[in-house]
Amino acid sequence: MGFVSNDIIVDKYLRKDMLPTIFCTGCGIGSVMNFSLRAIHDLNIDMNKTVFVSGIGCSSRVPGYIYADGLHSLHGRAIAYATGVKLANPDLKVVVFTGDGDCGAIGGNHFLHAIRRNVDITVISINNFIYGMTGGQVAPTTPLKSKTTTTPYGNIEYPIDLSMMAKVIGAPYVARWTTAHPIQCINSIKKALQKTGFSFVEILSPCPTSYGRMNKMGTTLDMTKHFKENTINIKLYEKLIAEGKTTDKMIIGELVDTEKEDFNAKYKKFCGELK
């Protein structure tokens, strides 16, 4: 992977008439869009055969900035729409941008069953631990004791772990990084895009306007340092466990990388057997 200038990414992949973006200063969503487009560029993916799908939320605005076919769907339904696109035209590369609330709350069942079916789509979930666009409410991934507009005294609900859910249900590729790990993010997105079957990349992203402000986490730089200090690579985590130790840090890295027959292939076989 060689260095590609920002000018090339902007000129080749973005709708200039839509710029600048509406993302808040310090928001990590723009970084994730950058990582994704650089991965696409490195793989020389044909944008004429690529569809970007999203639901509702800050991260769901990403497809609107990309110069390619996009589908801005209903809240939580991005994966359901993406499944329909892939079944209707299996030759398309289908990429979903979704937030932690969009994916894990109202879209939770679509998330689970697309993994179970092993639909051949790539889901990039930008997790900022809060509903950023609609007022800063508590989300399914909001950590315990964290403050939001609907939990002003601290969240008492246990958060869900999207990547571990994807792993347990059987996704053939699962990775989690943070915006503080740009090279790792790009490499994992590249792997996800090349994987046949359901691939899931979760990227922890700062939301200084809502989550950071409510929890007095400081600047975006402070939040980025927090990500580095409070995450642990899966390889180091496994070493700790082998030594009989534990940690409260969130696990990052490649959690799953395997092969598994996808839904389109199984469906094609099934239709052939009926003839």
Q: Which of 96, 101, 119, 93 is nearest to 201 (CA)?
A: 96
Q: Residue 2 — very low, low, confident or very high, per pLDDT cuts 50/70/90?
A: low
Q: Which two tokens stand for residue 60?
A: 């769901």
Please say whether the beta carbons of 98 and 29 come within 8 A.
no
Task: State the Cα–Cα distance between residues 247 and 133, nearest whole angstrom.
Answer: 32
Q: Is the pLDDT of residue 123 over 70?
A: yes
Helix count and strand count (H, E) for the chain: 11, 8
Q: Which of 253, 60, 261, 53 is nearest to 167 (CA)?
A: 253
Q: Is the pLDDT of residue 181 over 80?
A: yes
Is the pTM value of this prediction over 0.85? yes
CATH superfamily of 6-274: Thiamin diphosphate (ThDP)-binding fold, Pyr/PP domains (3.40.50.970)
Please say whether the beta carbons of 211 and 217 come within 8 A.
yes
H helix or E strand, kind and range, residue 70: strand 69-72
Task: State the Cα–Cα distance between residues 143 and 147, nearest whole angstrom.
Answer: 9
Taking only the tens place, the pLDDT of each residue in 10-62 is 999 999 999 999 999 999 999 999 999 999 999 999 999 999 999 999 999 99
Q: Is the pLDDT of residue 182 over 90?
A: yes
- Per-domain residue ranges for the chain? 6-274
Task: State the Cα–Cα distance between residues 133 and 12, nearest whole angstrom.
Answer: 28
**Per-residue pLDDT at 257:** 97
Q: Residue 104 — very low, low, confident or very high, per pLDDT cuts 50/70/90?
A: very high
Taking only the tens place, the pLDDT of each residue in 185-200 is 999 999 999 999 999 9
At 105, give phi and psi (nearest 5°): -105, -95
Task: State the Cα–Cα distance between residues 186 and 142, nearest whole angstrom.
Answer: 25
Q: Which two tokens stand for residue 141?
A: 């991934």
